């Protein structure tokens, strides 16, 4: 979504500072531009956008690879479970059949999901990055996944293939991870470079 007030030399999808609280769309900013930012609001819709944004944000941390592993888990959860309403059971069956990505791409084009975006709010302090990921879904009981990391993974649903994303994210380089409200927002705190 291009802001008509943008300088024509700016990359497509980047808003000027004057745009205020408008979310930045893919292709976002460069690593250097983000290195000088204290606040930014990004929105993402697809797996490709989530991967790109994850790499960009992770580049601002001490350990981009480890942070990236946890961050992409949270961002993909926002897309698949939040915005696209793929249930835990559905994902298990889709993974078992090798059809998960195809289903994500199919749902992204359905009228009821096509206009849904997730956002990543970026706030930098002297020593930390505080990130808030929000999706447009109905939320979920995060405590069930944060405090019970040994979920039942029945062969029949294929759930042995997934259900570890939140547990993985909570055990990596995040100083803090917390789900807010109805479970469609997750806040993480990460040490910066």
Q: Which of 172, 34, 55, 190 is nearest to 127 (CA)?
A: 190
Q: Work out whether the CA dihedral 72, 77, 80, 86 comes out positive or negative.
A: positive
Q: Span 98-126, mean pLDDT?
A: 97
Strands (E), the chain: 39-44, 118-124, 128-134, 174-180, 185-191
Q: DSSP 3-state assignment of 24?
A: strand
Cβ–Cβ under 8 Å, residues 75 and 53: yes
pTM, whole model, 2 decimals? Answer: 0.81
What's residue 2's pLDDT? 35
pLDDT tens-digit readout, 48-91: 999 999 999 999 998 999 999 999 999 999 999 999 999 989 99
Cβ–Cβ under 8 Å, residues 104 and 84: yes
What's residue 144's pLDDT? 74
pLDDT tens-digit readout, 4-40: 333 333 333 333 333 345 788 888 889 999 999 999 9
Dist. CA 164–CA 172, nearest whole Å: 12
pLDDT tens-digit readout, 131-176: 999 999 999 888 776 665 444 444 434 445 455 666 666 666 688 8
3-class secondary structure per residue, 126-175: CCEEEEEEECCCCCCCHHHHHCCCCCCCCHHHCHHHCCCHHHHHHHCCEE
Task: Provide Rg for the chain, Cα atoms.
Answer: 17
What's residue 83's pLDDT? 98
What's residue 10's pLDDT? 32
The full set of domains in the chain, from first to last, is 21-191 (3.30.565.10)
């Amino acid at each position: 979504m291009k802001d008509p007030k943008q300088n024509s030399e700016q990359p497509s999808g980047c808003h000027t500072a004057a745009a205020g609280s408008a979310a930045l769309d893919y292709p976002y900013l460069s690593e250097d531009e983000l290195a000088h930012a204290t606040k930014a609001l990004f929105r993402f819709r697809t797996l490709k956008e989530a991967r790109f944004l994850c790499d960009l944000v992770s580049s601002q941390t001490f350990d981009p690879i480890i942070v990236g592993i946890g961050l992409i888990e949270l961002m993909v959860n926002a897309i698949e479970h939040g915005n696209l309403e793929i249930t835990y059971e559905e994902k298990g069956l889709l993974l078992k059949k090798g059809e998960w990505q195809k289903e994500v791409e199919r749902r992204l084009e359905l009228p009821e999901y096509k206009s849904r975006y997730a956002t990543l709010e970026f706030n930098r302090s002297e020593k930390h990055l505080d990130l808030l990921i929000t999706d447009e879904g109905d939320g979920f009981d995060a405590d069930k996944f944060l405090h019970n990391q040994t979920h039942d993974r029945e062969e029949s649903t294929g759930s042995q293939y997934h259900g570890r994303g939140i547990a993985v994210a909570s055990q990596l380089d995040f100083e803090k991870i917390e789900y807010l409200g109805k479970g469609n927002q997750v806040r993480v705190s990460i040490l910066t470079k």
